[in-house]
Structures are given as structure tokens and as C-alpha cells.
Structure 1
Amino acid sequence: MTQQPPPAAGPAGPPDLPDRVAKVYGELDLSTVPAFAGGFINFGYWAGLTGPADRQLTEADRVRSEEDLYRLVLETFEPAQGRTALEVGCGRGLGCALALREYGLGTVIGLDAHPDQIARARKANAELLAASPDTTGRLEFLQGAAQQIPLPDGSVDCLFSVEAAQHFRDLPGFARESARVLRAGGRLALTTFFARTPAAARALPGLLPPYADGLDVPHVVDEVAATLSAAGLRQVRVRPIGEGVWEAYDRYMAQQPELRDEWPRRYLTAYETGLLDYYVLTATAG
């Protein structure tokens, strides 16, 4: 996450959420920050950009990048027709709605630990939740933690998480719960930014405030993959996609006067100096 709002005074957040996470996704509502045009709250995948390399990037480009990050993940489930999917860390539920509209899934469940995010998801998707006969009952939002998913064993075919796992304090718990709720042969796909090495993980809090203030955790990508395997997931694959993320995101930030804060642009520095990258991790259950 980037360009988070400044610290604000207030009561402690929901149980089991670190205070910083509770505030950023609660009273401060990160989805309203200009860097996250459209409200998806992710860096975006920009490989689909068209036009001259030096052209001015637009808000439409930014929203498209956020949607394309979801598409990159959801395409790993093909064929998805009629299947049941769960998004862990769904935020405002915009990715769940995209998944339902574009990929022919039978049911999409959005899960988020923050009650404010679940309320926003239900509001943002109220029409889709209630109006259309072909989607009624196929979209649902639940409050719950990644390490304690409130669903039965073997109840979903596809589990995805987009730019949320950097917040997870209990990655082994998330991995075990993913393996539990996925049906045999079900697929997991998650994407976010991770440290490249243990040394990089130690260095990142000195460069990027979200690691220093408790918003993000500098998980090491190889350790994340090993954690998924240890939970019983098979065929764990790691794909770096930073080439399609960091430079274009930084270019967009540089072109927006209100987004030219110093520290959010350090993500490109962290990438170029080998401290972190953006990844897609996939695995199979059972």
C-alpha cells in the first residue's frame, strides 16, 4: 500500500487487527486516497498500457491497472465457469464484482477482517447483490480473518488474494486455512509485494514507513512459498511481475502533483536496489 493517510488519533480498531491496519482501513479509508483511483487499493499491473512511453498517464489508466492486476490473478483459474471463489482481503469488493462479471464464476465470496470494509463492500455492490436475477445469491461478503476463515472444509474451488498478504501477521495460519477450505484440486492465487531476501526484509523498514509503522510486514517471498507448501498445498509456483508494476506506477505518481510525496516513490528504489518485488504465487490443494 502506498501514500497512506497521516496518523490520526482515535480508539483502537477491531479485535485482532494491529492498530495501524485498523485505522488505515477504518476511519482513514485508504480507498479514498488519490493514489488509488477507483478504490481498488493496489499498485496495479500496467503491462497493458498503450501509446507512447512518455505520454501522460490518466486516471483511467490507473483504474485499468488495478483491474488488470485482478485479471492477471483470476486468469490462473481458467476455466472458472460455475466455480466457487473466495477473495481473502476483499476491501470494497470491487475485485469480487469484476470476478463475477468477467469470469463466469458461480459464486464469489469476499472476506475481510475489517467490519468497515465489509460495510463498504456491501454498499458499493448493493445493486449487484440484489437487483439482477442472474447474480442474486452469487455474491456475498463476510467478515473474518485470513487465519480463521468462516467457511466449511472443502467449500471453495478458487481462493485469491490481491495485495493483502503483506498485512498478514499469521501467514502459516492463512496457508493452513486456505488448504482447509479449498476442495481437492482447488487453486490458490495470491499477488502482492514481498522482500526478496531476509537481509532485504531487515532493510525495508528503514526505507518505507509502512514497514516501520506496523501497516505492512516484510515477508520474504521464498519463506511465503515454503509456508504454503508446509500447509499441504502442492505445485507452489512463484512468478515475479515487477517489470509490469513498479516503473509505470512510479511514472503515474510523478505526473500527479498531489501524489509527489517523497516516500511512496521509494518503492521503485526498493525494486531497483533488489530489496523487494511484486509476485504472483499459485498453488493447488489436495
Structure 2
Amino acid sequence: MASRVFTHVLRLIERDAFPRTRKWAWRGLYDTLSRFWRDGDWRFMNYGYAPETPFALNPEDEPERVFIGLYHQAVDGLPIAGARVLEIGSGRGGGARYVARYFAPASVVGLDYSPATVARAERLNADTPGLTFRQGDAERLPFPDGSFDIVVNIESSHCYADVPAFAREAARVLAPGGWFTFADMRAKSMAADLDQKLAASGLEQVFAKNISAGVVRALDAAEARKRANMIKLPVARRFMTEFSGAQGSILYKELKKGGVVYLARRFRKAG
């Protein structure tokens, strides 16, 4: 049953059907997960990325390596030291925490649509100086023009009702010369449409890559940990197998054979 439901959801996303309803449903799902999945060490809600060349991490962060990897590929090489950073769709805050701890920004703000998730992120990451969280809508950002030097968006845009509006908002809150770094998955048939929607930002695209192979490597590396967590939720185990991209799930199979692609993009604002 869970596999059929998840397949149906993927098909709705592929057709871009019922965008407002999907946005409401995603918020409800993440609110529920934040209330009932209370693991103190679960700061990440992404599928991860394992590059072919490992990057440096502190020993205490090694258990989260594959999830941090998706953020590392997004920000590596960007001028973050002393910058004002915004993550749109920050979830439980692990990615924003990584940026705040490793790259010496002036500040990091994590924004998420789900109030329960924002509250959870604040509790999980209270130990990180310069990091704050705020509830808000990616399509109507609650910040003035030019508020940030770096905007990060990881595995969140598939929940949005209006991706062009989000792209325009990301550009609006960027200061001249600022960077917008993006990563998310789509059905292969939707990849060109996604790029067209992101182009609504008016920003210059400077980097584009299909990172699906590295995401599959990350899913494989995280398999044992996911299965261990699922034991705690026997009633929802079938659903969480699909939602988490565990081996054998629809998403895992589609990523592996290329029906779903995971795309990384970087843009820069003139200035």
C-alpha cells in the first residue's frame, strides 16, 4: 500500500498537479514527523551525497557524513567567511549548523515552512552561535531586499507550489554579487522544466551537475542507520521505507536507473 501511495505522489509531482494541495500536504507531513520522530541526533532530512573524494569532518560529525555531504557540495568554494547566509527549507537545521560551524559566516538564518520543524531545529541546534531559525514561506520570504550574500536551498523545492516565485524571491533577498546554490530531485522528464522555472530568478547560472550517482552512494551508506530507526516505528515502517529512499523503495530504484535525477545548480547575482 505504501509503495502505491508513494508512486502516486511521485506521478502527481511529475505532472505538477495540484501544487497548492501538495504544498499543504508536505507541510502537514513535516509537522507530523517533527512531533513524533524525536531522535536527538536526527538533524538532517535529506537523502545525502557521497562524493568520490572525501572531505574533512570533525570526528563528532562523522555519523552525519553523507547528509552533510549534500551541503558540502553545495557550498564548497563559495565566499562564505563573513557572509550573511540564508537557508530556505532548513528542516531540522543540520545543514545550517554545518555551514555555521565550518565556514565562519557572519550569520546563518534557517527558514522553514513548518512551525513544528522550526521549533525542533531551535532545540536541536541551540549550541551553535550565529545560527537562528524562522518560520516562513519560500515563495514570500520575510526579509528585505539584499539581506543575504549566500542563499542555500537543498532538497526542498519539490514541496513548493510556485517554483518561479521562489526563484524570484531568492534573487530578491540576495545582495549584488551574491550566490544562490540549489540541489533537488525531479523526474528526468521534468529536469528542463525545473531549469526554466529557476531561470525566473534572472540570475546567471554558473554551475550545473547531475549528482544522482553520489546520492545513490549516500543512500547505500545510510541504509543500516535508517533500518535501525525504522524498527522504532513499526506501524509506519512501510511508509518510512519509501519516504527515506531506503534500498528497494520506488525512489531508490528510480534514482539508480535514471528515471529520477538529482540536480545541483549555482547562480550568481550581477553586481
- The TM-score, its normalising length taken from structure 2, stands at 0.75
For the residue of structure 1 that corresponds to 2:27, the secondary structure is helix
Deviation at 1:22, TM superposition (A): 2.5
Q: Residue 47 of structure 1 aligns with which residue?
A: 51
Q: What pairs with 1:1-286 in structure 2 (closer than 5 Å)?
A: 18-29=23-34, 32=37, 38-47=42-51, 63-77=64-78, 79-128=79-128, 135=129, 138-197=130-189, 220-250=190-220, 252-253=222-223, 257=227, 261=238, 263=242, 264=245, 265-286=249-270
1:93 alignment partner AA: G
For the residue of structure 2 that corresponds to 1:176, the secondary structure is helix
Deviation at 1:21, TM superposition (A): 1.4
RMSD: 3.1
Deviation at 1:271, TM superposition (A): 2.3
Q: Equivalents in 1 of 2:35, 2:264: separation in Å?
A: 23
Deviation at 1:18, TM superposition (A): 3.7
Residues 181, 126 of structure 1: alpha-carbon distance in 2 compared, 3 angstrom cutoff: same
Q: Equivalents in 1 of 2:77, 2:37: separation in Å?
A: 29
Q: Equivalents in 1 of 2:162, 2:36: separation in Å?
A: 24
Residues 41, 72 of structure 1: alpha-carbon distance in 2 compared, 3 angstrom cutoff: same
> 8 Å contact 1:90–1:96 — kept in the other structure?
yes
State the Cα deviation string for residues 210-250 of structure 1 (Å, max 9, x = none).
xxxxxxxxxx2222222222321112532111111114414
1:178 alignment partner AA: A
> 8 Å contact 1:86–1:108 — kept in the other structure?
yes
Deviation at 1:125, TM superposition (A): 1.9
Q: Percent identity?
A: 29
State the Cα deviation string for residues 88-130 of structure 1 (Å, max 9, x = none).
00112221111111011111111111111111121112232xx
Residues 227, 76 of structure 1: alpha-carbon distance in 2 compared, 3 angstrom cutoff: farther
Q: Equivalents in 2 of 1:267, 1:232: separation in Å?
A: 31
Q: Residue 16 of structure 2 aligns with which residue?
A: none
Q: Equivalents in 1 of 2:211, 2:121: separation in Å?
A: 28
Q: Equivalents in 2 of 1:257, 1:159: separation in Å?
A: 33
Q: Equivalents in 2 of 1:162, 1:267: separation in Å?
A: 17
Residues 151, 267 of structure 1: alpha-carbon distance in 2 compared, 3 angstrom cutoff: same
Q: Which runs of 5+ in 1 are unaligned?
A: 7-14, 51-59, 129-134, 198-219
Q: Equivalents in 2 of 1:93, 1:254: separation in Å?
A: 23
Q: Equivalents in 2 of 1:31, 1:74: separation in Å?
A: 31
Q: Which has the higher contact order (CA 8 A, sep 6+)?
A: 2
> 8 Å contact 2:48–2:218 — kept in the other structure?
no
